Structure 1
């Protein structure tokens, strides 16, 4: 009896405690909230966020906690998470104007101008006098007009920006629009005044400081540019990209000695900081060769500093010089003898990179995991692991890792570039574009990052913004060949002949072999684009006659003849070249190629075979011979055997394997073709053509869920592409996955570019059918069948005939 009373008391106690717990959930949530506020006040953001998350577990409707959480994330630059939390607030209360305002501001900070404008409009509809939101709306309109090359829209937005700037001169967002418009219209003096005013408000704003440098460069004020670069080096001592920008500027002006002197001045005697020494060594390697870098490291080590960092750096340069085994042995010795430390981890990552290059991916990945086991936040290890994940199509995990790395190094251009590659692999072009833009800013407009971003803009038809990106980079690194050449190409595309000519003149003025060749090519392109092929040929021939044009100029003359349809003149010219140097293998190959175009396949084939008798490792000759043979339908089996013979001579050639896969596909051996593409994809999953072909075969000829899922993963990068084959592949996979709206959008574009291919028409027809657009489907089925023989037995054509019969039996007609 007593025992029973005891159990009853315990049960009652537990029940009351449980009831108390239920009743106090909101109270406990409030305690977590108050604790979070205290941590915020103390500056302990991480602990505050933990407390706010505890609030949400107990009370997901606690609006004050969610707002505080969003504000804290926004304050530390985590815009994505902040946006998500503000969005939750608006979902809970659609009238929450503060959250809507924050959404507009965060979207503007992140460069999502469409979203920013939408929320700005929502707020302005309720509170029309909010100038900050008006600024966002104007900035969004200006940016969208600029990206769309909408001059009228750009002028109107700039006019509105100036009016708003007069009323609110302290608003930096609208000031940036005014400054950008002044720079674009080349009113550099006025832009400088506005920049100085803006920098009074935000003296450490990197984007404004970089833009002021660009304006000083445009004004030709080299003293101000140098002073500005030096100021940024001192102002941001923890940002090595500032020093790199100063060095690039010196090098672009031919002041290599001055650059080296600056780097040596950063080395403090007796300091444990090894970064300045490594920066100097890298500079020496780039400007004076790896031997000079090794010599400098030998000098440092000879002074008694045998730091593993210097030994590892020396091994790295020895590796680049071709002494790979010795370099790897040196790195392994360092790792074996060193105690766990940051230096040791850095050496392990360096060794992992070497092992990756030499094909030992297992050893490389093991080293990286060792590093991350010691330090889960090691940036270089995270970058290397993320790059592997991207290649393995593990994009989600790669992005998560890179975000961790970016949280620790928010202005690291290499992290942002890798993140852009991940977004590209995932087919998210908007995030890819945004991240590449951030990489340009983080690198202080470095040539490589600027060119990468400009090339993306150009592929999207945004030539004017692409021009602006390149010009900004050239102002800090004037004369950079890798920037001038694409700039000239942009001017050719927009038919701005005077500016294209000015780029050619600037290239010629450099008086280096590479720049001279680039200038010659650009001038010939300008003339050809103006449909002045005779003048282009005359210009190139003049170079040849003067001895200033090598083989490139001669090939360009041939191309000009061929592009103009003057095949006989091209043949006469190639014969004359060969007569001058009958034993030159390059000229023999060129002459054979022209003969193939001129309708002389027998002579072309004989020349190709003669070249291969001399040297069986000439890949272009094998491929040209195969094209000549396969052009004759009767000899298709012979062409396949020819590729097999070529693979004996060049077993590692991806081009020959690719050709082999094509023959297998055409002969119906789909599994064999897929096997080759799988092998090629494993070797280089970054190749979009291989990815497209593999995904296309998997989605067209395999029906099992695993193959289709794999095809979808591989094809993600093709989303939003401007190339018709990629649009067809992605669209057909979208159809098979039931995403018909995405499918029709891509396939309609694909048909516009590949309308003669019956299978592309078939894919669109099937998608129309799924969307119940029967008349449109019937039209496309007819189009597909009209582009094939009546007795063509391919499965998709059989299906097309059946669908036509079915639809017409139902009474469906084209156009009804």
Structure 2
């Protein structure tokens, strides 16, 4: 039974004291525990994390280390251990982030700087490697780790500078260091580079094998080993290595693609297909990527019918009918069955009851089909629906960005594309669009950078590589262009476009022996297109090496050969006309047209030769016959227009342009010719209307953009809306070196109140277009506006003196007024304007900023 302590006063008092003592003790203990310092509590979490780490419970250890920072954000040991933990488990992104936080909190901590430098080096982050190595050298230049980093930095600089002497000396230094640090990956990388340059495959084999052994989770080591095996030509080892790479990195799409390409290069499409079937069979039921890859492969190797059969099998086995039905429709679309394909996609979408990521992707595919068929309104409706459901949908954002770029809404396009790249940093299509946006904004360096990124992200795919190469070639950056093309050629060694681009680079460098190698490769391919490209390249090589006479002799030899093609004879005629050998060209063209009267190319050659010989009635008759035979062929129409223009018959040329447009409505070349003729006739509004029409159809054309902006700024300079429109259209002309474009851009800068910014452009334009009086007047007006009164007087007088007698026009009148103001400062003070603010235009007879080829010539 329970004792009744309340029966005794003494017991009661003792019981109370006991209760009070216990309560006091418990309360005191709680109070003391609650008064632990934040440092002590942080240390408890840190020690708990260490204990969990020792027990192998890494995830819970990470939680405890992070708890430390909730209390003490600058706890060095916890942050360092956490960073090391992430690095050990292969989470380089999070590890790097934690090391960076340490570097911010402890900028002089050497181990942190070394870790950051090495991780940046492994990740090929050159700027970060440079930054952290520089700081490490400042902290402890004699530290062995730091000396390795510094050596790698200097070696990289020597390699970039192509300083082979310094490179060799530094590799010797690396070899000495490796005596005491034989397994340092950074030193081994330098030694591997040296071995590769020396062709020492045995040493390269040893190094790549050891590096892979030391860092089995580093993808770069697998790529280095693969390169070595490829150099050795050890094909069984290549296949085994690629399979080992895939086993180690199951999500590595590049390794899978490399294995497929390897089998194809070995003439083993069946093995490639079997591998893709392995991947498709192993993929979970809800994942369609591997199955879609299989279908695309079957299409490429065995044709559309086989791919359709594969799709039917997959759908019958339960594959997603929405996705694979859309793939099937895509085949029909490419086969020309566009209406049927679009109907099929709409049908599969009709079965969707709940929108999903897949259904949104299919709607974007439908939008692309509609856009390609010209139904932009329908395409926009699909995109709007997708973005209403998911404002960040990459496909929808990319299509919208393309439309925004076309409409000169560059800022909107860039914002949308940044959202895409935030989700998918390696989206090559988004990078290409970003390049287009920055081109439109006049930011050439940024555009080039995104083109380079797009080529890399696409794994050197042909379209992205060709676009980058075209930019570099246009900038005469031959070596970077070569560097861009070669990796793509390794993936597609028979691609004619890549080979032609590479040949152009070698001819321009010039590197004639390597150009000869490209020519030989084209002849080896042997298709008619490849042979024609080889002959043209060989002709250019001969002209570079021995001069135009040798090239002409080569063409004559080709044209006079027993089995000479019509193409070789036409090439000779073009060369003869270009070099003034009119009689020879006329004779050969006449023979060619007589032997093959139905050949339109021969007829055009004859007409051009007749015109060059001065027999214009004969040329017109020949061209008239070509027009009558095929009214929808623009070439003879354009040549007739050009002949009339050359004779000064602007009215006749306009009539010919109208005749051509009646036969070929909306033909852009004929519209271009008509716009130029209307401008010369003084119908500026009509010319602007045509340029607006052309711009709406293709706003990417630099020449159309320039001419539209030039006319707007010339003739509508007192209309703020027109000047704003011209400014938007002309943004892409920033940093241009084309004289006509320089005049347009500089003049628009002046109209926008920044004459100082426009002045260098107009100076360049006036120097290059020294015979154009209107360009000279533009410069004079802007010099006056910029306060260069003496130079402006001389320049305006120079331009006015160059004008043909009696020439009038708004620009001429304004130039005279500007000069009068400069010669009578008092009158200017009493006036209402400042010199040059009202000056605009090129006049009816000047070219000014309008770049227009003669009617009949190519416009883009």
The TM-score with structure 2 as length reference comes to 0.73
Report the Cα distance in structure 1 between the residues aligned to 2:309 and 2:522, rounded to whole angstroms: 34
Report the Cα distance in structure 2 between the residues aligned to 1:176 and 1:600, rounded to whole angstroms: 71
State the superposition RMSD in angstroms.
4.9
1:320 equivalent in alignment to 2:334: yes
Shift of 1:465: 1.5
Q: Is the 8 A contact 2:398 2:420 kept in 1?
A: yes
- Which moved further from structure 2: 641-650 or 516-525? 516-525
**CA 1:472/1:349 → structure 2, altered by over 3 Å: closer, same or farther?**
same
Which residue of the partner structure matches residue 268 of structure 1?
A: 281
Q: Is the 8 A contact 1:428 1:717 kept in 2?
A: yes
Task: Pick the aligned partner of 1:529 from 537, 544, 548.
Answer: 544
Secondary structure of the structure 1 residue equivalent to 2:280: coil
Equivalences for 1:219-258 in 2 at 5 Å?
Answer: 237-238=250-251, 240=253, 242-248=255-261, 256-258=269-271
**CA 1:485/1:369 → structure 2, altered by over 3 Å: closer, same or farther?**
same
Equivalences for 1:625-704 in 2 at 5 Å?
Answer: 625-633=640-648, 635-703=649-717, 704=719
Task: Pick the aligned partner of 2:366 from 326, 351, 376.
Answer: 351
Which residue of the partner structure matches residue 352 of structure 2?
A: 338
Q: Is the 8 A contact 1:457 1:463 kept in 2?
A: yes
Q: Is the 8 A contact 1:139 1:174 kept in 2?
A: no
- Which moved further from structure 2: 347-356 or 397-406? 397-406
1:372 equivalent in alignment to 2:369: no
**CA 1:503/1:584 → structure 2, altered by over 3 Å: closer, same or farther?**
same
1:463 equivalent in alignment to 2:478: yes
**CA 1:112/1:269 → structure 2, altered by over 3 Å: closer, same or farther?**
closer
Q: Number of residue pairs matched?
A: 739
Which residue of the partner structure matches residue 291 of structure 2?
A: 277
Report the Cα distance in structure 2 between the residues aligned to 1:181 and 1:739, rounded to whole angstroms: 54
Report the Cα distance in structure 2 between the residues aligned to 1:144 and 1:759, rounded to whole angstroms: 47
**CA 1:588/1:351 → structure 2, altered by over 3 Å: closer, same or farther?**
same
Equivalences for 1:383-462 in 2 at 5 Å?
Answer: 383-462=398-477
Report the Cα distance in structure 2 between the residues aligned to 1:97 and 1:802, rounded to whole angstroms: 71
**CA 1:450/1:291 → structure 2, altered by over 3 Å: closer, same or farther?**
same
Report the Cα distance in structure 1 between the residues aligned to 2:730 and 2:347, rounded to whole angstroms: 43
Which residue of the partner structure matches residue 757 of structure 1?
A: 772
Report the Cα distance in structure 2 between the residues aligned to 1:657 and 1:386, rounded to whole angstroms: 28
Report the Cα distance in structure 2 between the residues aligned to 1:322 and 1:332, rounded to whole angstroms: 17
Report the Cα distance in structure 2 between the residues aligned to 1:378 and 1:429, rounded to whole angstroms: 28
**CA 1:118/1:156 → structure 2, altered by over 3 Å: closer, same or farther?**
farther
Report the Cα distance in structure 2 between the residues aligned to 1:668 and 1:676, rounded to whole angstroms: 14
Report the Cα distance in structure 1 between the residues aligned to 2:756 and 2:468, rounded to whole angstroms: 29
Shift of 1:742: 4.1
**CA 1:573/1:157 → structure 2, altered by over 3 Å: closer, same or farther?**
farther
- Which moved further from structure 2: 433-442 or 636-645? 433-442
Equivalences for 1:704-715 in 2 at 5 Å?
Answer: 704-715=719-730
Structure 1, unaligned stretches of length 5 or more?
1-37, 56-63, 69-73, 90-94, 146-150, 812-816
Q: Is the 8 A contact 1:699 1:711 kept in 2?
A: yes
Which residue of the partner structure matches residue 8 of structure 2?
A: none
Which residue of the partner structure matches residue 495 of structure 1?
A: 510
Shift of 1:784: 3.4
Shift of 1:548: 6.5
Q: Is the 8 A contact 1:718 1:730 kept in 2?
A: yes
1:753-792 per-residue CA deviation (whole Å, 9 max, x = no partner) reads 4333333333344444444344544454355345432432
Report the Cα distance in structure 1 between the residues aligned to 2:450 and 2:488, rounded to whole angstroms: 17
Shift of 1:214: 6.1
**CA 1:611/1:207 → structure 2, altered by over 3 Å: closer, same or farther?**
farther
Which residue of the partner structure matches residue 296 of structure 1?
A: 310
**CA 1:243/1:667 → structure 2, altered by over 3 Å: closer, same or farther?**
farther
Report the Cα distance in structure 2 between the residues aligned to 1:612 and 1:306, rounded to whole angstroms: 54
Equivalences for 1:158-169 in 2 at 5 Å?
Answer: none
Secondary structure of the structure 1 residue equivalent to 2:281: coil
Equivalences for 1:438-587 in 2 at 5 Å?
Answer: 438-540=453-555, 543=558, 550-587=565-602
Shift of 1:664: 1.8
**CA 1:264/1:123 → structure 2, altered by over 3 Å: closer, same or farther?**
closer
Q: Is the 8 A contact 1:533 1:560 kept in 2?
A: no
Q: Is the 8 A contact 2:559 2:572 kept in 1?
A: no
Which residue of the partner structure matches residue 845 of structure 2?
A: none
Q: Is the 8 A contact 2:171 2:194 kept in 1?
A: no
Equivalences for 1:118-133 in 2 at 5 Å?
Answer: none
1:63-111 per-residue CA deviation (whole Å, 9 max, x = no partner) reads x9xxx9xxxxx9869x9xx99x99xx9xxxxx99999999999999999
Q: Is the 8 A contact 1:179 1:194 kept in 2?
A: yes
Report the Cα distance in structure 2 between the residues aligned to 1:782 and 1:211, rounded to whole angstroms: 68
Shift of 1:805: 5.1
Report the Cα distance in structure 2 between the residues aligned to 1:247 and 1:418, rounded to whole angstroms: 29
Report the Cα distance in structure 1 between the residues aligned to 2:416 and 2:453, rounded to whole angstroms: 18
Q: Is the 8 A contact 2:110 2:136 kept in 1?
A: yes
Report the Cα distance in structure 1 between the residues aligned to 2:392 and 2:679, rounded to whole angstroms: 46
**CA 1:534/1:248 → structure 2, altered by over 3 Å: closer, same or farther?**
farther
**CA 1:572/1:393 → structure 2, altered by over 3 Å: closer, same or farther?**
same
Report the Cα distance in structure 2 between the residues aligned to 1:175 and 1:753, rounded to whole angstroms: 55
Secondary structure of the structure 1 residue equivalent to 2:534: helix
Report the Cα distance in structure 1 between the residues aligned to 2:589 and 2:203, rounded to whole angstroms: 56
Report the Cα distance in structure 1 between the residues aligned to 2:444 and 2:274, rounded to whole angstroms: 42
- Which moved further from structure 2: 620-629 or 443-452? 443-452
**CA 1:260/1:572 → structure 2, altered by over 3 Å: closer, same or farther?**
farther
Equivalences for 1:36-185 in 2 at 5 Å?
Answer: none
Structure 2, unaligned stretches of length 5 or more?
1-48, 50-58, 74-78, 84-90, 827-860
Report the Cα distance in structure 2 between the residues aligned to 1:510 and 1:423, rounded to whole angstroms: 38
Report the Cα distance in structure 2 between the residues aligned to 1:772 and 1:144, rounded to whole angstroms: 46
Equivalences for 1:727-806 in 2 at 5 Å?
Answer: 727-740=742-755, 742-804=757-819, 806=821
Shift of 1:454: 2.2
- Which moved further from structure 2: 669-678 or 596-605? 596-605
Which residue of the partner structure matches residue 10 of structure 1?
A: none
Report the Cα distance in structure 2 between the residues aligned to 1:701 and 1:796, rounded to whole angstroms: 9
- Which moved further from structure 2: 731-740 or 162-171? 162-171
Which residue of the partner structure matches residue 6 of structure 1?
A: none
Q: Is the 8 A contact 2:727 2:748 kept in 1?
A: yes
**CA 1:513/1:741 → structure 2, altered by over 3 Å: closer, same or farther?**
same
Q: Is the 8 A contact 1:391 1:686 kept in 2?
A: yes
Report the Cα distance in structure 2 between the residues aligned to 1:133 and 1:299, rounded to whole angstroms: 57
Which residue of the partner structure matches residue 26 of structure 1?
A: none
**CA 1:655/1:261 → structure 2, altered by over 3 Å: closer, same or farther?**
farther
1:286-313 per-residue CA deviation (whole Å, 9 max, x = no partner) reads 4554444334323434556561111111
Q: Is the 8 A contact 1:105 1:136 kept in 2?
A: no
